Every structure is written in structure tokens, then in C-alpha cells.
Structure 1
């Protein structure tokens, strides 16, 4: 019968997880780890010891532990790990280049096989040994060696040692063990029989078997702590079925106790059968999900037998139906010469039916070289798409504008989850698992939260925020202000609890404010629970503006003058003609009413426009009246024979002009202009110069009753500098007489 050995793996491929560390659990005993984790098909183990002591195998040992892995970059999904330090220190990510974790106190400091490999004294050693009986003709298993001695101490005297030593029928080598006269051999070697140690496999020697774990080439850095590891290696040996063998797994530090090293042994890979079936998943269980995950069935035969063509048939059973619940798979499978692996893909069909878990079992039965039938099988389960459960809060908010943090968590799907928050109308709020909500209105407000798992299954739930603020500013009453501060406001509030404070934006307190000027006023009320704010605009009744014109503005006595009232924002008007005569227009009289009176001589006329008792404005105007009860000499025709009575000639007062000697144009309304003071003048011209004689201003008026020239202290829209300035003027009187003058004045700012 042709000797053959096939390894059959079921690998479940889930969503890509690239940045997770392995999980190390130290709770299982070495006895459990060997029997339930390491052993595959076709092997029976016994006499398990740790460091040569049988009893140590029956209690958890800190340097030996179970590991699982969800990081697809790391090539083992589960297994057991042996370390020179505490096994928990093997977990990634790789954040230390010199991890040293004290392990079990019962470690060994001598081992003849390790001393021979390391060429030095060992420390912190852990040795796992057991006897086994293979069912096939080949022993095979997978392992990886890693260390924090990389890369600083490779190569060096700190050559942390590792070996897998095998004794039994057909095995010979340099390692002596009582009961095995031919000695034993180290099967933890790379091609050429080179033992796997730090000095033999590193970044400069046998680099094809070495993996960097340090930045920036941290291939496995997120999974394990070690700075460097080997690739996944396969140890194998030719054995005789149904014969007893002894194997030793040993690892230790050399010369010192620092910088941990470890060896990973892949779950289910220690096997010796025609077919070995192992089930391994990225997620750590045996379930694949419709529409999300799939499984690869990996058939592997030993490399030593890969030169032959091999045909293997397998049986499929279980509650799932091939071609309905999952795809059709090729049966039998064929290994071609040179091929040691065949992969079959199982892809579950997403049918949308709630069928519960359905099983698929692969069974392979082959007769081994000893004539025994060895049967191995692996089972996987097909699961429906998960129902995601979202847990979120429904808080109560007491006050505006308090905020509340809404937080959601999800379960039932395939973590991690992506969350999104929106309003009921779909407006986005947050893409995190939480969102801050500010209370803007009383009552119930709802928000939507959606969780999407790594299989793209989603669930949406509603979060409810209840706002229960009772305090309220219902309204604010207002009385307008006039031209003096006379406005009032009064606040009407409700829903308060206990004492209430009223705070206005002008610094005053109280429910009522008086004597207010026009403008906006904001009120904040606060009770023992909440606060509320509102504002009110105090309007202003426009102040009166007195204005009138006189026609004519000058003439001979007696002069009949009509005054036109052009005032605004007033409802009462009072005249004073300067000679004891007064007049008051009715309250409801038209604003532009005309009042006519005789002015016998020159007087200043004053109009007072008012609205109420305390709001008024005035304007004054000088009416020039001349005594004209005689002939105007300039109006007589010249007759050399005529007699002219000088006594009957008209006389006019001479024009007089005065100028200020200082101005202060600072905008306060007092002394802001350089302007002339005059009497008996009907027209005037004014010129202003700087000290170098450059003219800065010129102005004139032909009717000073309408307007008069004045300088505002600027040159080209820019303020003139302080200093001394000169001026000239020319004024014309009623009689036509002209008067000229000049002088200087000071400009002070």
C-alpha cells in the first residue's frame, strides 16, 4: 500500500482585521493545552511533564498558555505558546524593544540539548515533554519562533535557544535519552539541518525565514510583542505507526534573563494521519455568516509525498444542503505531482430566510500503513445574518440651552460597529457612537442612530430627548421713551420655582424698569432650576426740531413779515418776536402754518417747538428793519438845478464785523467753527490762510440770513494741525457800504 498523509484544514475567512493583537489566556493547564489544542488527528499523547516534573502539567503554568488571533497578517489563528518569560508578555502590539516579563519561579537553568545548541549556559528555561503514538507514517506540525533579542543581539552571545527533540523507532541523533539507544534528533531546523536559533535565523542570516516586527517593517507588530520572528515553519519526521515516541519542546534564555523569547505551536497541527481535519476561524469560532464570511477547506499532504498523484474522496453531511445553502464543491480532490495543498471554497448563500444554524461536516477516512482505518472530520455552521441590538439612552433635559450626550452601543452583529446619528428628517449630526444634543424647544425630540457591523448588516433605532423646562418669559410690556429717558418695561413670567432673579442687560434688576432711553434691553430670569432669556426694543418718540423762514428777511420800517413754520415732531409751537409780542399756534395746527405780523424795527424772532412738557427745541432769526421814511439819495435822478434836502435823506447803520481768536474743532458742538459775528450785514466773504500764506478756505454768502461762511478746521477732509492761522473778510452792509478786515486766530484740538 502506498504510504500517504494528508492534512485537511478548514479556514474561515471573515472580514479583514489587520491591527489586532493576539489574545493570550493562561488559564489552561499544559495537560489541557497538549490534549485539546496542540494535538490533531492520528496522535495519542501521554506522560505530559513540565521541566521534568509530571505534577506541573496539571496546573496552569505562567510560561505556557493558549492564544487566539484575529489579525489576518499573523499566520496562526490559535494554538499554544511557550515563552522564557510570562506568556502574557507575548501579546502585541510591539511597543517595547526589550520586553522582559518574569515568568514561573520553577524554570530550569540547565538542559543538555539546549546547552548543546546554544553553546552557552541557559537561563529561564521551560521544557514541555510527552510520549505519543502516531497512527500514520509521518509526524508533522507547524511552529514559529520569536524574540525581543532581535535585532540588537543577532548575532551575539545572547543566542536564545529553542529546539524540538524527537526520540523513537527509526530516529537517531546526537541527543541521548535512556531507553532510546540510537539517540534523538532536533527537528526544529531549516533546510540544511540548521537549528532554529537567533544566530541562525535573523536579518542577515537565512533572511528568507525571518520577519521584521519593528517599525517601519512591523509585519506582525500589531499581533505580537517580539521585535522579530520566523515565518511559519513546518517540522516533520518519518515515524512508524502505532509505535511509541518521545518529544521535547524546549526554549530558554542564554547568559542572561532579559529580553523574552517564545515559540508558537499551531492548534491541531501536531498530527500523524492519512487525513487530518482542523477547523480554524479568524473570529475564533466555527460559524460563517450568510452574506458576510466564507470558509476555505485546505487539504494538505506532507511535502515528502508530494511527488505522487493522489486522489482523495470525502463525505459531506449536515443539515445544510449543498447547492442550496452553499456552493457546490469538487469531490474527489486531486493532488498533482509537486502539489501539497488543495483549497476548496465554501460560500454560504444569503437567502434571507430565518433558518437558524445549519451544519456542514467534512469526513475523510483512509487506511493507514498499519492497516487501521483513520477517520477525521471537521464541522462548520452556517448562520443567518445577525440581528443587531442597539442600546441607547433616552434622557430628560430640564433647561434651555442645556446639552445632553447621547451614546449608543451595539451587540449581536460582527464588531466593530460604525455609527451615524441624524435628525428624523435625515440631517447628519455625528459619525461617532455619541452625539451632543442642545435643548432648543420644550417637549419630545427624537433622533435616529444607525449601527453598521463589519458584515455591512445594519440596524436603526430611535433616541428620545425630553425637554421639561417650565420657566418662561411670556411677554415684556413697553412704554416708549421720549427725548428724555422716560421708557418703561415690565416682564410677565410663568412656570418659576422658588425665588426668581431678574437681570437686565443695562445692569439693573427687577421685574420693572423705568426711565429708560430707547434701545434694546435683554432680560434673563433665573429660578432654582432653570433660566430663560428674552429681549425688548424700547422705541423712542422722535424729538422736536424747530425750524422756520421769514419773508422778507429785511426791509424798511414798519415791515410786514410772514413766518412759515417748518418744524417737525412737535405738536405745540410758541413764537417770541423780541419786542414783547408773542403768539402760540393751536396744538393741532398744521406744521407749516404761516403767521404774519408787523415788525417796526430790528428784532430777534424765536420759535419754540415742543411735544409734551419736557421735550422742546428752539430756532432764532434776526430780522433787520431799517428806518426808510426818507428818499434814498442813490435813487434820485441827478439834476444840477435841483435842491436836495439832506434832512430827508435815508440813513443806514454801518456794518460791523467781529472774529473769534480761538477755535477748538473737537466735535463737541462748542466753538467747532471759525465764523464771523456781524450786524447790519447782508453779504460777506471769508478767507483762511496758514502761516505761509497758502489759502486753506474760502467762502461767501449773498444773504447772511440764509447762510454764512464758516471753516470747520479741515483741509481736504483731513484735520488741520494746531497752530496760528490768518484770515481776511469783506462784508457789505444794507446801504451797500463795504468793510474789510484781517487778523489771526489759534486752532487748538
Structure 2
């Protein structure tokens, strides 16, 4: 039978079909993973889950197959206040956990104490053997629904006592405000959606039994197929939510008073779903995945269309709007998509273009036609300037063991930037280098969008200060026959000028190669022994040799040279 509680909450109770064998359970791989149990067993169409966690003993949760039992569900996820292996006929239902099993879960105690039909409700002050499953979820429709059965070994001996085992399904999220606690990110509290039809009473052994709400109770004293003394008929929960928003479920069950006898909740496989067609936007932008902001010509973006009905093909039609302009901001894409039989979702990829106009964010919006689910989704397009990069200096001079600093100035594009220098220059927009010889460096700059710029070359001259040798002996003995100033060979095109005592130029060379042999630069005749005046211009901007006001002369050094044969 179907019973509607309110427009906000639907609980359906249906009678199970008797079986001839028994239930089976497993918490070995892959059923030892709460993520697998939720994503691959519990979830149906139209719902996605994340941040899945379970607290309790690992043996308190697993998979069940109820086809050959009278539990009323074919299969699904079971949570138990003892080892799930003891649900199989012959089990004791008493925990053998090595860790202390007593807790004080204030929300579950509040739920248990709220059963006004139980005269001992106020004596329930502690919980035991808590099994606690939590996850966030989103839906494609405007409701979320699932089916379950509650069962207990406390039936019927401990009805209306302080041993009133309790379970709840706490729901929190947008549009929901409730008295129970909720995790960070869901500030308005939670509601318990496991209620008896047309009441605000939770389902416990003291609210559903032969003396109260008996139409929803199944007695199981023989424990033939399931080792639990009683259980509810199948309950279907349906609750309104906002499509595309983030919600949180907490499925919790615990013993009350002591842990001597256990209780279980069976969640039907594939029943946690949402009816409707949904659309959502996504973007993988600059290393951030899953948002709805995409940069121009940067990353991947698109719209995901999903349907809760996979038994029939579905043609989803939609309109395209927003202030983004086709062919300026994005390439055209179709205004419909077909989901074949068996396909719950598909994606339309959108190519975002770069218009090199830095402006406010553009929007690209999809609106589904004739749908009551998640009707709209929006992509926000971030303007990105063209990537530009340049070196602050085209050349620098160092004298070992000095280091030179290379700096790349970067603008535009999208951070972070990846800068790599050749010739072992290193990584980063600013690097220190110390080559042994004059070396040319350039850098490649790559931004988060994959745009690349190659910088012009920066030359690092290995040049130490020049010192003039003041004695020169070009006498053919192989020693000091060619004039060489100290460190002058570090410079590519030094100029050297030599004057005699009367101020006449006797030697001049603009690209001196340490090859003057003491002859006149024009006649080629040997110069006489004596004192000459030498001027050396290394043509380097780094070193200053005089305090002269002329900057050219500052970087020129001079002195007397004794020529001896």
C-alpha cells in the first residue's frame, strides 16, 4: 500500500514476500569499501555522492542479498549494531568488538527520547555500537528518495523500555532547517526523514510493533531466513530538495541502554535516486577542476546532461543564452542531446575562444525545455590577456665567483607561470647563474593555460676587471713577446691605443686580440725602447676605472708602458 505523509515527506510501506531460504551478507572486497557500497550499490539514477565516510567497526556495514529471505528487499547495503555476519540465521546479534562500544550520540538519544508512546524514553541516556555512514550528494530532480527496512532483535521483549534501539536518516542542506546537528558547510541543522506516516514520530521498536502501527510490522520469531525477531515493511522515503545543490546524508543506527541485542537497517540497492532531467556546467581551468569558471582558450568546459530514466531513450532540448557571443567567445554547439537506453548522462563540450578584450566575465547559460528538474546551468568565461614576457637586461657581466641575476618580467596570461632557462639556468622568473665562460641564456614561459612565450637572449659575460701590464719585452725570446693586459681576453672587442712620448699614436686596434708585437701599426717597424702611454677600452658597462665625468672615459683605463727589448 502507499501512504503519503505530507507534501514534504513520503513513506511507503509494502509487505514482503516470504522466502524459502535465508539472507546472505558480505563485507569482503569490494564490499569492505564504504565508497563502493554507496556509489555502486546504494545509488540509483539522478544522484551523485562525494565525501563518503563510515565510522564504526568495519564488520558493521556491508552488502546483503535478501532474495531468499523474507526481509522484503532483494539486495543492498546493511548497517548493523553488531557484526553483520550474525544477521544470517544462527547468529547471536551480540557484538564481540574489542573496543569500547558505548557512546553518547546526542542526536540519536534525542530521537529515541522523542517516542512519546514509550514510558521509559527519558531513561535512554546512552548509545552503543554506533554505525554511522555520511556522504554529500547532489540530485538532478527536485526530490531525493530511497527505500529501507528497519529490523531488531530487541523485538518484542524490550518494546517500551530503555532498551529502545534507534536509527535515523539525518538530511541537511539548502532549504532545510532542523533540530539535529549537521556538518560544516550545512549550517542550518538537519531533519530526520525516517518517520511513521502522517506523524512526526521516528521509527523505533517502541513506535512500530504489534500494539502500535502494527500494519507496518512483520513478526519474525522463528528467525528462519533472517536472524532478527522483527522488522518493518519496506519504507520509501521521498523528500524535496533543490536540484544541483549540495546536500548531506547521515545514516546512523545504534543500540540504546546496552549492546546485548542488535538492530539493523537494510538500504535497498539502487533506490537512492532522483527523478528528472538535469544539466550542470563544469570547467577544468588553470588546474582547478569541477568549477563553473573557464578562462578564454584555457582548459576544458562543457555541460553535463543527466536523466533518472535509463529505460527509454531521452532527447533533451535546451536554449542557449547569456552575454557571451557565438564565434567571438565560443564555437557553436547543438541545442539538443540524445541519451540512449541505458545511458544516464552525457556531455556537450564547449570550445571557448580568446578575444583579447579584457572585460567583465561573460556568461553562457543553458536552460532545459519542459523540465521540472535542474533547469539551468551557467558557464562563466574569464577574460585573459595575451601572455607577454621580456628580460629586464639583455646582458650582464660577472667575475667569478660572482653570480648573475636573470629576471623575466611576465604579464598577461594566467598564473601560475612555469619559467625554464636553457644552459642549466634553472626554473623560475628570477634565477642566479654562474657560468665559467660567457654564456647566452633564454627562457620559455608557459602559463596555466598552456600559452608559451620564448624570451630573447640574455648574454652573461664572464669578465673580470682589466689590469694594464706596464712592462713589455718583444725581443723574440718567446716570453712576453705579445702584449696582453690582465683579463683583457674576457672581453669580445676591446680597443687599445698606444702613444709615444710626443702624443703620436703608434698603435691602434679596435678589436684587440692580444697580438701586438711592439711594431708601428702602420709602418710595421719595430718601436724603440722607451716609455709609452697606453689606453685600453674594454667596452664593458660594468667596471668604472676613473672618476671622470665622461661615462665613456670612466670605463677606460690607461697608464705608462715600458717597452724593452
TM-score, normalisation: structure 1: 0.33
Higher relative contact order (CA 8 A, sep 6+): 2
TM-score, normalisation: structure 2: 0.44
| Greater radius of gyration (CA) | 1
